[in-house]
Amino acid sequence: MEGNEIMVSALQGSRGFAARPLLTLLAVLVVATSAGGCWKSPRFKAPFTLANPNERHPIAVRQGEVSLDLAVFPGASGLNESQKGQLYGFLRDYKSQSSDRLLVRAPSGGANETAAMRAYDEVRRAMRSAGINPAAVALEPYFGNGDPAAPLRLSYLQFVAEAPDCPDWSEDIGRDPQNMPWTNKGCATQRNLAASVADARDLLGPRGETPRPGERRDVVWGKYIKGEPTISKRAPSEHANASEISQIGTSQ
């Protein structure tokens, strides 16, 4: 009897040992199934490295045309006051936002051809007043197609920032055991930046520095060459600096 009892207990132990891997495998399958459901989230469709909003929601910068049409009627002696205001504003924007040429297209072969050339003379004077280099301006004729008020057209190319689209806000991220960045993270910030940037060229890279003012440097260097003190003069009521104190000490 004792031998049979030992054999039975050994078999029971072997069954328990064999059941443990089965339970472990079942647990792995359950976890894998639940994880598989998490991988269907839109956040897992993008690479993990795209947590940076600049990479996940980039701002596209392209060149777009900016134009101004100045209607010219037959017999007009030039531009009216309203058109002059529009023209000066347009030229001011051109100088600050574009390094490309300024294209002026004048109607040809129509009833207002002579009036258009008078208007172009005023445009030339306005460009000189704005400090625009004549070499950067190109004049081209175009057929007015019978329009008695065919406009004088000014245009230039400038860089335009296109904001990314942020359409999907449907995912509930209140509970996220994986702590993964959601699809629209940072997209609103990118859209605001694209809408508020003054010059889209700044998104492509830093601008070059302007030349430093050399007036003060020339004065100080001239004093240094002559062996004179290079310190700035101060009023008697002001506190003395270290260089002045050292000079007072040496004079005594």
Residue 239's pLDDT is what?
Answer: 58
pLDDT of residue 151: 92
Question: Distance between CA atoms of 87 and 74, rounded to whole angstroms?
Answer: 20
**β-pair type (60-70, 137-143):** unpaired
For the chain, the domain total comes to 2
- Same structural domain, 70 and 150: yes
- pLDDT value, residue 238: 57
Containing domain of residue 192, as a range?
A: 42-58+164-203
Strand partners, 68: 154
Q: Are 76 and 107 in contact (CB under 8 A)?
A: no
Rounded Cα distance, 104 and 114, in Å? 16
Residue 168 and residue 47 share a domain = yes
pLDDT at 233: 72
Sign of CA dihedral 66, 96, 206, 51: negative
How far apart are alpha carbons 43 and 55 in whole angstroms?
A: 14
Question: What's the DSSP call for residue 213?
Answer: P
Q: What are the tokens at 145?
A: 């197609």
The tens-digit pLDDT sequence of the chain (252 residues) is: 444 444 434 434 444 444 455 444 444 444 444 444 444 555 555 555 567 888 888 999 998 889 999 999 998 888 999 999 999 999 998 988 877 889 999 998 888 889 999 999 999 999 999 999 888 899 999 988 778 889 999 999 989 899 998 877 777 777 777 777 777 888 999 999 999 998 888 888 888 888 877 888 888 888 899 998 888 776 666 555 555 555 554 544
Residues ≥6 apart with Cβ < 8 Å to 189: 53
Domain shared by 150 and 177, yes or no: no
For position 105, which CATH number holds? 3.30.1330.60
Helix axis angle, 81-97 relative to 113-129, nearest 10°? 50
**Co-location of 72 and 154 in the same domain:** yes
Strand order in the sheet with 152-162: 60-70, 152-162, 102-108, 137-143
pLDDT of the residue at 27:
46
The whole-number pLDDT of residue 210 equals 81
Q: Same structural domain for residues 74 and 196? A: no
Is 239 a domain residue?
no
Can you give the pLDDT at residue 25? Answer: 44
Q: Kindly state whether residues 69 and 146 are assigned to the same domain.
A: yes
Whether residues 156 and 184 fall in one domain: no
pLDDT value of residue 91:
94
Is residue 148 domain-resident? yes
Last residue within a domain, chosen from 136, 162, 188: 162
